[in-house]
Amino acid sequence: MSYYAPPLNDSRYAKLYSIRKKASTMTQAAIEWIEKHVNQLACLSTEKEFLLLSVGCGDGDIDLPLIKKLSRKLKKNNQVLHYIGLEPNPFHYQTFKKRIKEISFENNVHIDIRQTSFCQPKGFTSQKQFDLILMSHVLYYFIDPYVTIRSALTITKPSGYLLIIHQTRTGIPEIQNRIMHQIKGNIDENLTTEHIGNHLEQDKIPYDYYEIEAYLDVSECIQKSDTGIGIMSFCLECDLEKIDDIALNSVHQAFTEHSIKTDSKSAIREPIGIFLIQPVLPDNQEMIVLPYDNDPVSDYRILANQYDWSKLIINMTSQVKCSELNILDVACGTGRWFQAFQDYILINNNIQKYLQENNPPLSIQYHFLDPSEKSVKKAYSRTGPLLIKGKKYITRLQDIQVPKNKAFDIIWAMHGFYSIPWVDLRQSIINLLSMLSNNGKCFIAQAGRNSFYIDFYDQCCRYLNIPSSTSFTSAEDILEVLSKMGISYQVQIFNYNECIDRSQQDAVNHYLFQESINNSFIQNNGDKKTCISNTLDFSVINKNNFLTQYLQEYLKEDQYCFPQSVWLCMITKSF
């Protein structure tokens, strides 16, 4: 017998879930809350189709009542409910599908259950935005639950809600804190509403919060029956039948001491918390566009305008012990971000005045890294009078020999990770942080999986029968690697549309194949381009029904509106 209890496999998890559900009032409490607030939820959209996404829908015990109640309200307004449920557990997936066949729904309901995950490599992605996204008792199982929340908010309509139903810190989490590490060797699933609320407040994401009473009948646990051991196993996310009697007795004692007597039964109080969260989107209508800025797209302007780079420069220069701030631009390309940095941050915010007023005056030395010598030369030539030209590193990030006796105070890679293969991400991040000075800051700006940049490339790959292994790196991929490496970070998300008149076919063609393919997706081996841009152009798309229909999704009146969701990841190197 092993001292550490093994994790539950999919089959046993599904079986014990049913046992635990019968012993708790938690599910019924959540359903009653939904029934009470269904009018509020039904008002989230006035459009003909109401889009509902459920992440980790399980066997449908909460989703089915929600579908039935919501569809009845929507039917009165001649609206259709389109429900998509995501469930990776094959047993729950099959149970839910079976239950759907046994229930009659209103004729305005479309149900789509998928056996897949969310916010994971090769998991669910969507170009659509949803009126309501439900996450019921599922955030425990993500490597980084806060990335999952942010990812969900990027596909929530501005008028919509992300609805999170989750355990509070009272009840089972108290037992988990006490005994879980001893029994299974980790406390990975110990996440409470307190943790979630603190993170939302830290990220300045507003929310409404409700707390509802619920109780777990632990009478069988106190008796140490097979049912009771099953309930305790589910609560601790491990199979207690595989541990010795001493370890099992310690679990039994913890459940006993946390229980209260109610009539002839023993119960543990386990209130649930409910978050209603609306996405906070930047107002790009007020974005500054300088008259001499001739960049054809908004990507670098938005990065320059939406983050407080002035404050960063001032704070960093106050920390530098010498008179020079060193910045490294990774995957600098031809210097478009470099130009935006000079135009919008150095000049427009009068940083040079701050630098000169210091005693002694502070200077900024700017360094360049890119696998293309031609691109670095172009970027280097853009260096204005307010900066000192630094060194040029003609190499891939994952291949660089980390400079000795040279550390950078700020390192940024703006839209530069797309073509770094998944297997090289860890080494690339190690190299980045190795070149960062103590208390230095690293910024990685990257499109999320729901961005047009990522999705368009994938669609082209499908059209050309290019293997899916060539998919390019997304922001979520990077954050997953950072989490596995135990590296702390913060994320700010910028959602915006790149709009181009339908009649301007040259501009559309440029955006699709120069910006979305050539510039963002140059293969990570020097100047070699992807084969896609040499194979397709707008005229080819017009002849191809699949891609023509795909682009139609982005047509609004006389404009193509291509949605982008760019995640700015910030890492501070501290010791």
Residue 336 pLDDT: 94
CATH architecture of 10-277: 3-Layer(aba) Sandwich (3.40)
Residue 544 pLDDT: 64
**138 exposed, middle or buried (CB, 10 Å; 0-12, 13-18, 19+)?**
buried
Residue 431 pLDDT: 94
| pLDDT by 10-residue block (mean), the chain, 575 residues | 79 94 96 90 84 96 96 89 95 95 92 88 77 95 87 86 95 93 84 92 84 95 95 94 91 94 88 89 56 86 86 76 86 94 78 71 91 95 91 94 85 92 92 91 90 83 67 84 84 82 86 73 40 54 68 85 88 73
489 contacts 482 by C-beta, under 8 angstroms: yes
Q: Which DSSP letter does residue 179 get?
A: I
Residue 476 pLDDT: 85
Residue 320 pLDDT: 64
Which two structure tokens, joined as six digits, stand for 258? Answer: 């946390």
Residue 468 pLDDT: 56
Residue 361 pLDDT: 75
Residue 283 pLDDT: 41
CA distances for 444 relative to 19, 432, 448, 475, angstroms:
45, 10, 12, 9
Q: Nearest Cα to 472, choosing from 520, 509, 525? A: 520
State the Cα–Cα distance between residues 290 and 522, nearest whole angstrom: 28
Residue 122 pLDDT: 66
| In the chain, domain spans | 10-277, 297-501+563-572
Q: Nearest Cα to 65, choosing from 91, 33, 40, 113? A: 33
49 contacts 130 by C-beta, under 8 angstroms: no
Cis peptide leading into residue 158 (ω within 30°): no
Residue 527 pLDDT: 37
Fold match between domain 10-277 and domain 297-501+563-572: yes
**Is the pTM higher than 0.75?**
no
Topology (CATH level 3) of domain 297-501+563-572: Rossmann fold (3.40.50)
